[in-house]
Structure 1
Amino acid sequence: MARLYVISNRHLLVSGSLVDLAAGLAGVDYLQLREKDLPAGELYSLARQIKEVLPGGTRLLVNDRLDVALAAGVDGVHLGEKSLPPAAARRLLGPEKILGVSVHSVEGARRAAAAGVDYLLFGHIFPTASKAGLPPRGLGALAEVAAGVDIPVIALGGITIARVASCLAAGAGGVAVMAAVMAAREPAAAVAALRQALDRKPLEY
C-alpha cells in the first residue's frame, strides 16, 4: 500500500530535471508522472528515463495516459474521475498493474472501488494554491470516504508534515504531495521528513 505518494510537476523544480529528482526519491511509494502538457512521445521518453533511475520500492504511474503507461512498461496508471472508465482500464492493464482513481465524493469512491481500482486519491483536504478559490473538502469528508470503501484512500491537497497525522487519524492510508517535494530545495530531505511523519503513531480522530 502506498503511504507516501508524490505527483510530478517539472515546472516547480528549483533545479535539475525530473529524472534527477526521481533518482533521489528513496522512501516514496508511488510517483505519479503528471506532465499534462507533454505530447505522448515526450511523455513516453520521460517515463522510460525515470523508470531506469527510480529507487527500489518506488512504483511509477502515469497520469491518465493509459497508452503511454502500457508502452513504457511502468507500474500502472492513475485516472481522473472523468477519464477512461476504471473497469475498461483494468481490462487493458490486467490484474498485476496498479490502477488508481481521483474521486471527490463517497459515491464516486464506491463506484471506483467496485470497478476494481487499487487505491483512491481524495481531495483537496486543506486549502492549496493549486485550487485557489475552491473550498477544501476537509477531514470530515476524508473520514466519510475512507469509511465508505475497503481500499486505501490517499489524502491530497495542502498536505504538510504537520497535517499528516490528522489525515491518518481520519482514515487515510497515506498522503499525496506535489509542491512539498517538487518545489523543495532539498527534495530528498522533504521526502525523509514526510516519511518520518507517516511512520509515527497516528492520532485518534
Structure 2
Amino acid sequence: MTRHSKNNTASSVFTYAEREKLKYGTQRGHMACKECFYENILAQKRDIARNIKLAEEQQKADELERANKGAQAQLALVKEFEEAQMNGSRSTRSAGSEGSPSMQEEADRKPKVFRMTAEAIAARQEMERQQALEKMDKDAAEKGKAKLPSFWIPHLTPEVKASNIDTSKTQPVCTGSNPPHAI
C-alpha cells in the first residue's frame, strides 16, 4: 500500500526526511515527567548531604578512638616505666660493701656524656608509643579469640563495624543513562 498523508507514520520503514529529523537533538534522550526528574535530583542531593554528614561523624569518631588508644598507650608506657623504676630502685649490693677499687677508678675518670637530639627523643617516644599500640591490639585480639561469637546469646552476638562511607559522589547523576553522567 502506498503512503499518503493520513498514515505517513504507519510504516515501519523511515523515509529520508524522517531519518534527517532524528539527527536533531540527543540520540540518548529519556522520556519522563519533569516532576519525576526533579524528585530524583532532590533525593540524590539529600543522599549526598547525608553521606557527607555521616562521613564527617565517622571521621570524628575515628579520631576520638585513635586519641583514646594513644592515651591508653601512653598510660601503659608510664605504668611500665614506673614499675621498672620501682623494681630498679632496689639496691642489689649489700649495705656494707663499698665497691672494688677498679670501680672507683672508673668513677674518677671523666664521665661520658650522653647526648641525644630532640628529634631523636621524639622519634624514640613515637616508636615506643607505636609498639605499645601494637601490643594493646595484639592483647585485644587474643581476648577476642577467647570469646567465641554466638548468635543466640545477646551479649556474645558479633558486631559489624561500620564501613567507610563513599563520598566520591558529590553531584546528582542521570540514572537513566549507561554510563551515568552528571546533570
Verify same fold: TM over 0.5. Answer: no
Higher strand share: 1
Higher relative contact order, structure no. (Cα contacts within 8 Å, ≥ 6 residues apart): 2
Higher helix share: 2
TM-score, normalised by the number of residues in structure 2: 0.17
TM-score, normalised by the number of residues in structure 1: 0.15
